[in-house]
Amino acid sequence: MPFINFSKDEIQCKIIYYGAGFCGKTTNLQYIYSKTTGKTKGKMVSIDTKGGDRTIFFDFLSLNLGKIRGFDIRVQLYTVPGQVHYDATRKLVLKGVDGIVFVADSLKVQRKKNIESLINLAKNLAEKRLSIRTVPLVMQYNKRDLGGTDSELLPVEILEKDLNSMLKVPTIEASALKGFGVFETLREISKLVVKEVSRKVLSMDRL
């Protein structure tokens, strides 16, 4: 649920990058942070966890998101740790979520972990009385730059079958390391979140 700060005429929205360990969640946020100006971003905060997996957070104010009823839109981007034993942290970070980017690892060896992570997301959302079918969601198929003649990558058709055959949400091919598809993903999820936030704000106006 978006937080409305009346003193600053600001609506704060929370977008979470979710996925298995080392799928590219952190790399997405690092690329966004490195390519945005100081005026549009806050400080990046990184919380290291054992095993090299990390939860990171930073404030991101996009000047393109415009206003809703005179309020500026401020987007907070988070990642969750991908490793199973940090599930309690994932649940904590999901609190108050407005939109989700599910980052799928395109490597064939990660196929099972992608599916497990998506099931975990649905379960954790359900515990918060949210449905994976109604929360604004975008699928990012990451690491598409690693393909070749003897590709170790899953075809997009397989990723779609595994992860999106039932959900039918927008999908974007990407390489978080090289940067392609990163801002396209952010724009797509931001568009969905702003649309949903607008609906909620208008509903509040009618009360």
Domain boundaries, given as residue ranges, for the chain: 3-202
The DSSP code for 165 is T
Say yes or no to pLDDT of 74 above 50: yes
Give the angle 63-64-67 at the CA atoms, nearest 5°: 80
On the 0-12 / 13-18 / 19+ scale of CB atoms within 10 A, 25 is buried
Give the per-residue pLDDT at 139: 98
Right CATH for 3-202 from 3.40.640.10, 3.40.980.10, 3.40.50.300, 3.40.50.1580: 3.40.50.300
Distance CA 172, CA 191 (A): 14
Round the average pLDDT of the chain to a whole number and report it.
85
Give the per-residue pLDDT at 4: 75
pTM: 0.90
* Cα-based distances in Å from 24 to 31, 74, 82, 141, 158: 10, 23, 10, 10, 19
Distance CA 166, CA 189 (A): 19
Average pLDDT over residues 63-79: 75
- Better-scored residue on pLDDT, 90 or 86: 90
